[in-house]
Amino acid sequence: MENSDDNNDEDETEWKTSFTDFTVGPNPTSPHRVILHFDLDCFYAQVEMIRNPALRNVPLGIQQKYIVVTCNYVAREQGVTKLMSVVDAQEKCPQLVLVKGEDLTHYRDMSYKVTELLMSYCHLVERLGFDENYVDVTEMVEKRLTHCSSFEGHVYNRSGVETNTGDHWRLAVGSHIAAELRTVICSTLGLTGCAGVATNKLLAKLVSGTFKPNQQTTLLPQDVDHIMGHLGSLRRLPGVGHQTSKRLQALGLVTVQDLQLFPLADLVKEFGAHTGQRLKNLSLGVDDSPVVPTGAPQSLSDEDSFKKISTTREVVEKTQDLLTILVERMQKDGRQPHTFRLTLRRYSADNKWFSRESRQCPIPNHIGQKVVSGSTDATAHLVTMAMKLFNKMVDGSAAFHLTLLNVCFTNLPPARGTVASGKGAITSFFTLGSSPRNSPIPSQTNVPAHSHPISLTLILTPHLFKSIQTLFIKRNSLNCLLLFKTIGTLGTVGPYCLIQAQKILRRKASLVCTERRLNVRILHNKDMDNNKTHQKLISLTRVLN
Ligand code: TTP
Ligand code: MG
């Protein structure tokens, strides 16, 4: 997804920048990497259609302010597009049903569920915005003993159904894994999406939307020149934003092909050695960047844009509204923030999108503690801090015109109980059960369409989390059992049920544990419905949910 200026996911982008300076997965310069890129279909619209199935068959648009940020595919067939103005969309499609999409809570929650689900199959998952994830499945591919003779889904620029896999068996296996993961996402969460399969992140992202919706495409190395040569505008290159493309344009470069042909030395002169080389590589489809597992966010923020705020009273009110929600999110997260940042955007006719200014200050310990404990006066203290920062940027006694305010908690400690692996790698999620190393992804045949998953979520106290974490570290059956006994300390289930639960869970389940929550997701099918133990498990989930 391309972030709009008004999109509140600043903290989302910071999820992926946390641990970029070390290599985690397989060697990123290897030509044998298999990278998947997933992009959900009309994401916000799908979430709304799950919340209200009556919206499934009507043209649906998600409205933020005066813009339809996305719409379902029924609306797209009638000419509505993403980022169309509401007026234009209604003109194109008078029956368009509009749902307000300014509150991101449901989208954010679903977005994390998708990432967590992918992480329960492969530890190398990197989030990109709300509805995209990269997954490095190189190791999973190597571990599959079968060399596929055909590809799942489309193969870019090739029409033959049975493309000979030849040297590309890894990509072919990757295409099967992509299809299986799309099936799991659909059967578990009810979401469809597209996937791209290629040898690096850039190419996987570029190829994934070739056929939409709910389809997937693999790119073979011999077609890299073709896809790069047909991109057209430089803005199609992930990583080339508005500012960079303006600088490239000043050098006379408009298309990706222009950049391919432009001398590297001249790029280096303009951008420096690192960025110059990176731009050149991007234009050629070369991308060595590793898939960096997503860690806990390093900041949490919220913002709102508006036509005009020009009085101090309005600033106080808006800041208070934003902080009330942000403090709630911070409290759920459980970590104590140490820095507070206020960002604003002044109206500027000529440079509408890039005139943000920020000031930040430390959060005194007693206020940080109030935030975490959910104390009611935390917001009031923070508003006072915000106004001090505001006064450093704006002279409230003179006329001013703001179009955006953003409040942000930064300098968050790493999630407690994180598991270190490799050179300082931290991941706050860890999985058991359907780990890719232990068990295959349920394929389309063993996750029938009528199957429906059971999920239960336990909110963990620090003590419970610590016990569970210890048990996760050594994955053996004794520890599985202990794990369920630990859950049993909640006093709701007897040991017999736990043993049975564990047996079932080992067959078809994934566990994802974060510092605050343990998610147990059980993929089950009709056969299991008659099973007595399974019934017990269902009642267990009801009690615990
Ligand atoms: P996209 O993946 O760009 O769009 P989409 O998932 O709605 O549709 P597609 O089937 O084409 O992938 O963006 C993901 C979500 O992000 C989208 O549902 C709404 C939101 N969004 C914004 O808030 N602002 C934006 O500028 C865009 C493009 C999307
Ligand atoms: Mg999408």
Which one of 132, 152, 180, 303 is the catalytic residue?
Answer: 132
Work out the angle between the directed axes of helices 495-508 and 532-544 (0-180°, nearest 10).
Answer: 100
Q: What is the 3-state secondary structure (H, E, C) of 404-439?
A: EEEEEEECCCCCCCCEEECCCEEECCEEEECCCCCC
* Placement of tokens 């604003």 in the chain: 344
3-class DSSP state of 16: coil
The answer to whether the bond into 362 is cis (omega within 30° of 0) is no
Cα dihedral sign for 11, 355, 385, 4?
negative
Q: Check pocket membership of 107 for ligand 1, CB cut-off 6 A.
A: no
pLDDT of residue 373: 86
> Torsion-angle region of residue 173: left (phi > 0), alpha (psi -120 to 50) or beta?
alpha
* Residue 142 a catalytic site member: no
- Closest C-alpha residue for ligand 1 atom 24: 4
- Closest C-alpha residue for ligand 1 atom 21: 69
The amino acid that residue 190 corresponds to is G
| Nearest Cα residue to 25 out of 120, 114, 111, 126 | 126
Tokens found for residue 287: 């991308």
Tokens found for residue 430: 């860890």
Q: What is the rounded distance in angstroms from the CA atom of residue 227 to the CA atom of residue 477?
A: 48
pLDDT of residue 393: 96
Q: What is the pTM of this model?
A: 0.66
Site to probe by mutation for ligand 1, drawn from 13, 41, 43 as the one with most ligand atoms within 8 Å of Cβ, is: 43
C-alpha dihedral, 307 to 301 to 25 to 134, nearest 10°? -40
Q: Check pocket membership of 102 for ligand 1, CB cut-off 6 A.
A: no
pLDDT of residue 296: 65
Residue by residue, DSSP assigns 442-455 as P-TTTS-TT---EE
Task: Name the residues around ion ligand 2, CB cutoff 5 A.
Answer: 39-40, 43, 131
35-40: strand order across its sheet: 125-128, 132-136, 35-40, 193-198, 216-218, 154-155
Q: Check pocket membership of 471 for ligand 1, CB cut-off 6 A.
A: no
pLDDT of residue 329: 87
Q: Check pocket membership of 334 for ligand 1, CB cut-off 6 A.
A: no
Q: For residue 45, which atom of ligand 1 is closest to its CA?
A: 18
Asked if residue 260 lies in contact with residue 269, where contact means CB atoms within 8 angstroms, the answer is no
pLDDT of residue 313: 96
Helix count and strand count (H, E) for the chain:
21, 20
Asked if residue 197 lies in contact with residue 175, where contact means CB atoms within 8 angstroms, the answer is yes
pLDDT of residue 148: 73
pLDDT averaged per 10 residues, the chain (length 545): 34 27 51 94 97 96 96 98 97 97 91 86 89 94 76 89 69 93 91 97 98 97 95 93 92 95 95 94 95 78 90 96 91 88 86 75 95 88 97 95 94 54 24 32 35 53 58 44 48 40 48 57 47 49 42
**φ and ψ at 76, to 5 degrees?**
-65, -35
pLDDT of residue 431: 27
pLDDT of residue 126: 93
pLDDT of residue 457: 57
Q: For residue 4, which atom of ligand 1 is closest to its CA?
A: 26
Q: Check pocket membership of 71 for ligand 1, CB cut-off 6 A.
A: no
